[in-house]
Amino acid sequence: MELKLEQLSRHLQGPLAPLYVLHGDEALLQIEARDALREVAQRAGFLARESHVVESGFQWSTLLFANDAMSLFADRKFIELAIPSGKPGTQGSEALQQLSQSLNPDNLLLITLPRLDKATQSSKWFQALQQAGVTIATPPVERQALPAWLNGRLQKQKQQLDPAGLTFLAERVEGNLLAAHQEVQKLALLYPEGALSEAQVREAVLNVARFDVFQLSEAVLQGDTARFLRMLDGLKAEGEAPTLVLWSLNEDAHLLYRVAHGLAQGQALPALLRENRVWGDKQQWVGPAARRLDGPTLRRALSLCAEADRASKGVSPHDPWHVLSQLGLLLCGAPVLPSWTH
């Protein structure tokens, strides 16, 4: 059975399943779900606990034996299995399928995995686990959903923050949910229950945002100039290599050029997206971005890519970060300095 993360709390008020699978890259959400399961399992009498991590040389027979064997103290067992790679291999696949068909009623098994692609979720071993127990995804909280997520956390500690304050807080913790959780907890320690002002939040919250080049691409394709500049500054401050940032912006510039050219030739957008291997959320941003930028603008963007490459290699007198900022602004649809458009 597949369960949404927000449904877990209510689910745990009823009978427990013999098997739970948590999969996703969001560490905080996975930790919280795991801790909730541990707590409920302990109350239900699963007092003994075993932990296993699938690393090089892991013997899957160890897991099968743990499932079959009773605890030394005759307690019901809570068995945890972590598969950090998300790839159990041939032996692991067979063991997990066998395990799913012979779950011990005196045990509760929790398997944690990273984010899984569609092919892995369609594999025999994952489908067997899903049929035998409960699978729960712990996906990242996207930027647009972050203010609501923060608001929900604040409400749990009986504090409120207006939309402007939530936006400010989201900007400071974006991309770092563990830090976001810590900052919300800090507000509970610093201020009493009730309404918080934006000034109080500004005084209390550190700038703990952590960005990556994929989030930068998202800001560019959405034409969010302020977010792009904030992320670029963050990446620079964190010591990110300008060549990696250039790789991301260069990919976007060439993608938009190809899609815009195809649209101008009368090709259908869905076909262009498939041809250029644009998948997921990116599909909803590329079309509007390609229509937002005309041919001359995109050609100037390609020229800036070349200039940024020269600057990052030290064969140009220009600061690579400045060139990258102008390139990103151009792709966002914002005006750039005339000297950078040639």
**pLDDT above 70: residue 338:** no
**pLDDT above 70: residue 71:** no
Q: What pLDDT was estimated at residue 313?
A: 86
DSSP H helical ranges for 238-268: 242-264
Radius of gyration of the chain (CA): 25
Q: Rounded distance, CA 323 to CA 276, Å?
A: 26
pLDDT category at 203 given cuts 50, 70, 90 is confident
Average pLDDT over residues 122-151: 93
Least confident of 66-70, 144-148, 154-158: 66-70
Instruction: Evaluate whether 243 touches 203 at the Cβ level (below 8 Å).
Output: no
Which residues of the chain does CATH 1.10.8.60 include?
A: 143-204
Which residues of the chain does CATH 1.20.272.10 include?
A: 213-340
Arithmetic mean of pLDDT over the chain: 89
Strand 77-82 relative to strand 107-113, pairing: parallel
Q: Rounded distance, CA 10 to CA 7, Å?
A: 6
State percent of the chain over pLDDT 90: 57
CATH number of this structure's domain 143-204, picked from the four choices 1.10.10.10, 1.10.30.50, 1.10.8.60, 3.90.1150.10: 1.10.8.60
Which residues of the chain does CATH 3.40.50.300 include?
A: 2-137
Strand 19-23 relative to strand 134-137, pairing: parallel
Give 322-342 as a DSSP string: HHHHHHHHHHHT----GGG--
Instruction: Evaluate whether 320 touches 303 at the Cβ level (below 8 Å).
Output: no
Architecture of the CATH domain 213-340: Up-down Bundle (1.20)
Start-to-end CA distance of the chain, whole Å, equals 57
Q: Rounded distance, CA 192 to CA 162, Å?
A: 16
pTM of the entire structure? 0.64
CATH number of 2-137: 3.40.50.300
**Which residue, 241, 224, 180, 222, is CA-closest to 205?**
180
Q: What pLDDT was estimated at residue 36?
A: 93
Tell me the longest C-alpha to C-alpha distance in the chain. 77
Least confident of 153-157, 171-175, 293-297: 171-175
Average pLDDT over residues 180-192: 88
Q: What pLDDT was estimated at residue 340?
A: 47
